[in-house]
Amino acid sequence: MSDELKCTLIGIDACPGGWCSCIQSGPDDLDIRFTNALGSLLEEYPDAVIAIDIPIGLPDKTTGMEPGIRQCDKEARRFLGFPRSSSVFSSPVRPLLDIEEKDIAKAHREASLVTMSISDRKVSRQTMNILPRIREVDDLLQNSSQLRERMFEVHPELIFMEINGEAIDESKRTVGGRAQRMDCLHEVFGPEAVESCIAMIEGTTIKVDDLMDALACCWSADRIARGKHHELPARPEFDSTGLRMTIRF
């Protein structure tokens, strides 16, 4: 990464029980934080550029080229190709945020019915699992026009593709796939910095996979802050609340 940092950068990935955040306040100043309440963390950094691996902007019947479908998700899958395209989950439609999740099986059935009333697909278990996180981020953005200007959706696999020069075929859960992604992070942050971050998560609920993704998001936050990022789709879509439905990397 460039030595010149003009603002704090934060890369965020969901992890068991909360969020893993990689905070870069200077060229050699990386900190890893766990939080179960994202809003309280972001209040500490009111001017930071934030790159987060979570859907921002949700489709419904009235938004986008295809009802219930985000073009950024479709284009991200196309960019990554097989097999990494499977890492891009379909984003939930906005009405799903109103579903109560006390009974998971019942909530999943209801969510699929709601989704099929808008598009021709059901909702995946993976999407249901992250629905509370999506709701948390959406609530923050609905209540802060300032946050809308500095929080951006990213996808780690697109970021690793950008660093690597091509999509990484192996899953991050394999030895080879993890090693390739670590090599990418060593390239942009330096081996010492990455190993220091790994030491910071010892004894926490943060897994190495979550850390790798948060670090990748932080690198992308730097590119966004400098205006050197890519954005999918080239012509942005907006949801019914005015949120931009794009993925940057």
Question: What are 75-126's pLDDT values in tens digits?
Answer: 999 999 999 999 998 899 898 898 876 656 666 677 667 777 777 676 777 8
Instruction: Give residue 78's pLDDT.
Output: 97
Which tops the pLDDT comparison, 70 or 126?
Answer: 70
* Residue 64 pLDDT exceeds 70: no
Q: Is the pTM of this model over 0.85?
A: yes
pLDDT of amino acid 5:
75
How confident is residue 155, by pLDDT bands cut at 50, 70 and 90?
very high
Mean local confidence (pLDDT), 6-28: 93
At 6 the pLDDT is 77
Separation of alpha carbons 150 and 32, rounded Å:
20
Q: Which residues of 101-112 are buried (b: 16+ CB within 10 A; e: fewer)?
A: beeeeebbebbb
How many other C-beta atoms lie within 10 A of the C-beta of residue 214? 29
- Please give the pLDDT value at position 28: 80
Which residues, in sequence order, are bridge partners of residue 13?
20
Distance between CA 56 and CA 246 in Å, rounded? 8
- State how beta strands 151-153 and 231-238 pair: unpaired
* Nearest C-alpha neighbor of 147 from the set 26, 13, 31, 39: 39
Torsion over CA of 126, 85, 163 and 172, rounded to 10 degrees? 50
Query: What is residue 120's predicted lDDT score, i.e. its pLDDT?
Result: 67
Residue 220 token pair: 């992308």
Residue closest to 189 by CA, chosen among 210, 161, 149, 220? 220
Structural domains in the chain plus CATH codes: 1-89+131-249 (3.30.420)
